[in-house]
Amino acid sequence: MPIKINIPIPPKAQQRVRHAVRGKHAMAYKSKSQQAAEDTFNAFLLSQRPPKPLTGALKLTVRAYMPIPKSKPKWWRESARLGRIVPTTKPDLDNLMKFAKDCFTQMNVWADDKQVVEYGEGTGKYYSDEPRWEIEISEVDNAIR
């Protein structure tokens, strides 16, 4: 049975880890904005995650609905609402997927993101007046294809 998760916040991408030297020690850390975005995502995920981590091979479908830029003309915004225009700007889909998968691992939705063996139909970036994440996770049929 697929798990459907809706998170009503604008999609954010995974940022690169920051590096610094403190005293004589090198360290890696996440930026404050990255940590805040993960905390917000995880707060919504907390009530929707499965009771125990998923096991086995999984199919992940992620639809990232990005906000429609207010700076664009009215005809452009309407075309974006109808799906005729899709986001081709940053953040890229790979970084959005990485962000979601890392949060799922942190929140024990699954043991490890290596369990994701395929992406579902419709995975992508879209425009909407209601920015959000729509996520579906399902088990992969292990029958030989």
Give me the pLDDT at residue 38, please: 86
What is the chain's percent helix, strand, coil content, to nearest 5? 30, 30, 40
Give me the pLDDT at residue 123, please: 96
- Yes or no: say if 131 and 10 are a contact pair by the CB < 8 Å rule: yes
CA 80, CA 74: separation in Å to the nearest integer? 10
Q: Write out the chain's pLDDT in tens, 145 residues.
A: 789 999 999 998 876 676 777 788 887 767 787 788 888 889 998 888 888 999 999 999 999 999 999 999 999 999 999 999 999 999 999 999 999 999 999 999 999 999 999 999 999 999 999 999 999 999 997 655 5
CA 140, CA 119: separation in Å to the nearest integer? 10
**Amino acid at site 35:** Q
Token couple for 104: 């799922």
CA 110, CA 33: separation in Å to the nearest integer? 25
Give me the pLDDT at residue 141, please: 77
Phi, psi for residue 7 in degrees, rounded to 5? -125, 110
* Sign of the alpha-carbon torsion through 111, 117, 119, 125: positive
CA 70, CA 103: separation in Å to the nearest integer? 29
Q: Which domains does the chain show, CATH number per domain?
A: 3-139 (3.30.1330.70)
